[in-house]
């Protein structure tokens, strides 16, 4: 009968604890966000291919860029700090796991007392042990929370690494664009010199006036200033990229913009894959998991703590009697501490934990929306730039033809040379815009790769 009674008590206690939820494990909650509708464009239900599955070396094939990314992954300060944070979280988790074990300490004591002319010397060589029995899940939830915190640190390091790869690539291609714009500007500057010389010759021959000459010189001066600005942007971009690599500012070796190749086959994959690919989404869910276990730990504070403690040692002080030689001393104590009144602290802590869990859930939902928006923005950037490049090429072709024909008209007719100046300036702007749209398309690929959660391996 006693055995059945004890078994019944254990089953009742287990049911009570499971009903309280202090031993429940985290599971992803139902959200109001429909992951199937995160992308603006329709996605086939069987489409599981995504750009994020590519290695960054497969996407960025420029050898100079690959060298820069490799150096950044080794030396970048933010990434190395994130790796150290992983070590900190691992140490915290180790400490939480060791909380299941008893704490043991050596407690030697010695004393000398004198009373009524008699001196007494006592000693106690003992070992004390204390063990908190995890009946109500306090230690278990602390350990699970530490696991979630470690997962956050690992995911954060992945997010830093992903961002680093994207930033280095974007800075590198920006340098290529600036190089292209600088080359175009310097070439146009030489054309302006020829134009000014031609205008001066025509002016001496009485075929044009000084207005065209002054306008051409003004355009050349403006282009000189623009070249200086491009040079400054190149220097600033190189300095910023050197800082990412944790290196002193130096000239970055690089290729040519027109030699860069990217596939036009863009694979988004399923929106649901953002849950497993995107570091920020995974980190938000790990934070939600940690908040869940913090709430469980706050619930367990309402239940009593059972602590077992004991001592074992050798002493000559046996109940006030001095024994020489000493005798063995042992002591075992079981202590049950239950909260009765603590000024509402446990209730307040539970409310705080629940509120933080709700906050973490809202952040998790928002991270999904942000991920979908970033994918849509990057895809729009890529598509728009691709269309603009086609228009730019057509515009440049027309402006080249217009410039050549106006020059012929001025040489062999009485046409106004201001038309030539206008055509040349328009051609310069169109060529600079083409370089800008080319880099925008490349940036769209980078942003899309990043938005889908790639850039890790």
Q: Is the pLDDT of residue 12 over 50?
A: no
Tell me the C-alpha distance between 280 and 371, whole Å: 8
Tell me the C-alpha distance between 67 and 169, whole Å: 11
Q: Within a domain: residue 20?
A: no
pLDDT band, residue 451 (cuts 50/70/90): confident
Write down the pLDDT at residue 15: 42
DSSP one-letter string for 269-287: --GGGHHHH-HHHHHHHHH
Average confidence (pLDDT) over 60-85: 90
Q: What is the DSSP letter of 52?
A: G
Return the biggest CA–CA distance within the chain. 135
Tell me the C-alpha distance between 384 and 389, whole Å: 9
Domain shared by 123 and 234, yes or no: no
Write down the pLDDT at residue 21: 59
Write down the pLDDT at residue 123: 65
Which tops the pLDDT comparison, 320 or 94?
94
Domains identified in the chain, total number: 2
Domain shared by 277 and 263, yes or no: yes
Domain shared by 158 and 218, yes or no: yes
Closest CA to 295 of 357, 252, 234, 239: 357
Write down the pLDDT at residue 47: 54
Q: Is the pLDDT of residue 420 over 60?
A: yes
Domain shared by 427 and 367, yes or no: yes
Average confidence (pLDDT) over 359-383: 86
Cβ partners under 8 Å of residue 94, min gap 6: none
Q: Within a domain: residue 18?
A: no
Q: Is the pLDDT of residue 324 over 90?
A: no
Write down the pLDDT at residue 74: 92
Lowest mean pLDDT among 42-51, 59-68, 343-352: 42-51
Q: Is the pLDDT of residue 308 over 90?
A: no
- The whole-chain average pLDDT of the chain stands at 79
Domain shared by 195 and 333, yes or no: no
Q: Is the pLDDT of residue 3 over 50?
A: no
Taking each helix axis from N to C terminus, what angle separates 77-98 and 63-75, rounded to the nearest 10 degrees? Answer: 40
Domain shared by 327 and 385, yes or no: no
pLDDT band, residue 7 (cuts 50/70/90): very low
pLDDT band, residue 278 (cuts 50/70/90): confident
> Do residues 173 and 443 make contact, with C-beta atoms less than 8 angstroms apart?
yes
> Do residues 216 and 196 make contact, with C-beta atoms less than 8 angstroms apart?
yes
Domain shared by 107 and 218, yes or no: no
Write down the pLDDT at residue 17: 45
Q: Is the pLDDT of residue 359 over 80?
A: yes
272 C-beta neighbours (distance < 10 Å), count: 14
Domain shared by 424 and 376, yes or no: yes
pLDDT band, residue 368 (cuts 50/70/90): confident
Exposure string of 382-406, with b = 16+ CB inside 10 Å and e = fewer, is beebeebbeebeebbeebeebbeeb
Q: Is 32 exposed, middle or buried (0-12, 13-18, 19+ CB in 10 A)?
A: exposed
Domain shared by 80 and 124, yes or no: no
Q: Within a domain: residue 19?
A: no
| Sign of the C-alpha dihedral computed for residues 62, 64, 65 and 69 taken in this order | positive
Q: Within a domain: residue 456?
A: no
Q: State how beta strands 103-106 and 118-133 pair.
A: antiparallel
Q: Is the pLDDT of residue 290 over 60?
A: yes
Q: Within a domain: residue 110?
A: yes
Q: Is the pLDDT of residue 49 over 70?
A: no
Q: What's the CATH code of the domain at 315?
A: 2.20.200.10
Domain shared by 293 and 429, yes or no: yes
Tell me the C-alpha distance between 89 and 154, whole Å: 9
The residue segments making up the domain with residue 117 are 101-133+304-337
Write down the pLDDT at residue 237: 93
Which residue in this structure is represented by tokens 């800075």? 171
Taking each helix axis from N to C terminus, what angle separates 279-300 and 138-204, rounded to the nearest 10 degrees? Answer: 150
Domain shared by 38 and 91, yes or no: yes
3-state secondary structure of 306: strand
pLDDT band, residue 205 (cuts 50/70/90): confident
Q: What is the DSSP letter of 301?
A: T
Write down the pLDDT at residue 313: 72
Q: Is the pLDDT of residue 409 over 90?
A: no
């Amino acid at each position: 009968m006693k055995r059945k009674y004890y078994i019944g008590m254990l089953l009742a206690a287990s049911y009570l604890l499971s009903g309280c939820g202090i031993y429940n494990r985290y599971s992803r909650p139902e959200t109001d966000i429909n992951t199937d509708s995160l992308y603006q464009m329709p996605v086939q239900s069987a489409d599981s291919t995504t750009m994020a599955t590519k290695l960054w070396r497969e996407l960025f094939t420029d050898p100079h860029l690959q060298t820069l990314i490799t150096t950044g992954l080794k030396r970048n300060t933010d990434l190395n700090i994130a790796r150290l944070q992983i070590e900190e979280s691992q140490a915290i988790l180790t400490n939480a796991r060791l909380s299941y074990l008893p704490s043991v300490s050596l407690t030697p004591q010695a004393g000398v007392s004198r009373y009524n002319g008699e001196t007494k010397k006592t000693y106690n060589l003992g070992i004390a042990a204390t063990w908190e029995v995890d009946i109500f899940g306090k230690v278990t939830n602390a350990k699970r929370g530490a696991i979630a915190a470690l997962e956050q640190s690992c995911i954060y390091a992945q997010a830093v690494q992903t961002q680093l790869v994207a930033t280095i690539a974007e800075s590198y291609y920006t340098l290529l664009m600036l190089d292209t714009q600088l080359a175009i500007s310097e070439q146009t500057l030489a054309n302006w010199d020829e134009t000014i010389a031609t205008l001066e010759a025509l002016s001496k021959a009485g075929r044009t006036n000084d207005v065209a000459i002054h306008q051409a010189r003004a355009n050349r001066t403006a282009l000189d200033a623009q070249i200086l600005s491009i040079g400054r942007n190149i220097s600033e971009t190189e300095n910023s990229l050197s800082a990412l690599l944790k290196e002193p500012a130096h000239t970055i070796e690089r290729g040519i913009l027109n030699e860069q190749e990217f596939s036009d086959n863009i694979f988004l994959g399923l929106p649901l894959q953002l849950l497993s690919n995107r570091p920020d989404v995974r980190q938000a869910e790990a934070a939600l998991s940690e908040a869940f276990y913090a709430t469980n730990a706050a619930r367990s504070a309402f239940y009593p703590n059972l602590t077992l403690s004991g001592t074992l040692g050798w002493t000559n002080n046996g109940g006030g009697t001095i024994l020489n030689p000493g005798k063995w001393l042992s002591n075992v104590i079981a202590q049950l501490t239950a909260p009765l009144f603590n000024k509402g602290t446990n209730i307040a802590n539970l409310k705080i934990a629940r509120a933080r869990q709700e906050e973490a859930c809202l952040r998790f939902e928002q991270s999904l929306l942000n991920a979908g928006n970033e994918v849509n923005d990057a895809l729009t950037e890529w598509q728009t730039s691709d269309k603009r490049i086609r228009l730019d090429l057509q515009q440049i072709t027309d402006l080249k033809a217009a410039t050549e024909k106006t020059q012929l008209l001025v040489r062999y007719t009485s046409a106004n040379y201001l038309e030539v100046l206008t055509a040349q300036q328009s051609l310069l702007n169109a060529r600079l815009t083409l370089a800008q749209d080319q880099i925008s398309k490349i940036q769209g690929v980078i942003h899309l790769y990043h938005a889908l959660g790639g850039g890790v391996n």
